[in-house]
Amino acid sequence: MSTRERILSEALTLFSQRGFDAVSVRDIARAVGIKEASLYNHFANKQAIFDSILREYADRWGSLFSRLQLTGEDGQFTVDERTVAMYGQMTREQFNAMAAVLFEAYLKDNINVKLRKLLTIEQYRNPDIAALFKRLSFEDSLTFQTALFGAMIRAGLFGPTDPQMMALAFFSPIFLLFYQYGDQPERFEEARAVFTRHIDHFHEKYGAPAPKKGSTL
């Protein structure tokens, strides 16, 4: 790990524990094991460190969403014929596996856990961070899921219902699990079991008809 990477790592840990204002450049340098003056060879100030951490957060999730084919070439969530076809051809097991990847990345990945704590703290200090926290935590997901479920309903892959309410029914319990288990990594398997039961229940409630094991959604 380079010195720059160590600075970002230690700063993230401190920011997620104390908040931005309560951490000094000296605190970060001490945690890294370098002189304060040496830190300025890599970052102009504390705000530059903070901004780099936020960019890393966006890049990490953007890369994951891209690998799962949830976003287009422009990095935006996309609902088109390809997306609907991809979801429509998935078995329940495949859908559950993809959802589990996202769940684990959000709940178990140590960097993502710290980033979530950081944004949770800083949303009350900075209106821009509050807007970013809301967008990344639930607004983007709900917008994408509402559009996706609407398209899948029109394609006959789900029964007729309100796609926005369907998106809320899908995402709200997951969001709750993030905060119920987010600071208890030792209970991850318990959280994942509840998550899997939620996904299965969602299929059974909204399927058209409820898909059998091994069949498509």
Mean pLDDT score, 183-209: 86
Sequence-distant (6+) residues with CB within 8 A of 114 are 12, 13, 16
Identify the pLDDT of residue 208: 55
Instruction: Please check the confidence at residue 31 and state whether its pLDDT lies above 90.
Output: yes
Q: Of the candidates 33, 38, 32, which has an alpha carbon nearest to the alpha carbon of residue 10?
A: 32
Mean pLDDT score, 193-212: 79
Mean pLDDT score, 184-189: 88
Over its C-alpha atoms, the chain yields an Rg (Å, rounded) of: 20
Identify the pLDDT of residue 14: 98
Mean pLDDT score, 176-203: 90
- Which runs of consecutive H residues, i.e. helices, occur in 136-187? 140-154, 163-181
12-21, 52-61, 156-165, 196-205 — which one is most confidently predicted on average?
A: 12-21
pLDDT tens per residue, range 118-171: 999 999 988 999 998 888 888 888 998 999 899 888 888 888 899 999 999 999
Distance CA 210, CA 38 (A): 61
Q: Of the candidates 30, 24, 73, which has an alpha carbon nearest to the alpha carbon of residue 49?
A: 24
Tokens of 134: 């809301």
Mean pLDDT score, 171-185: 88
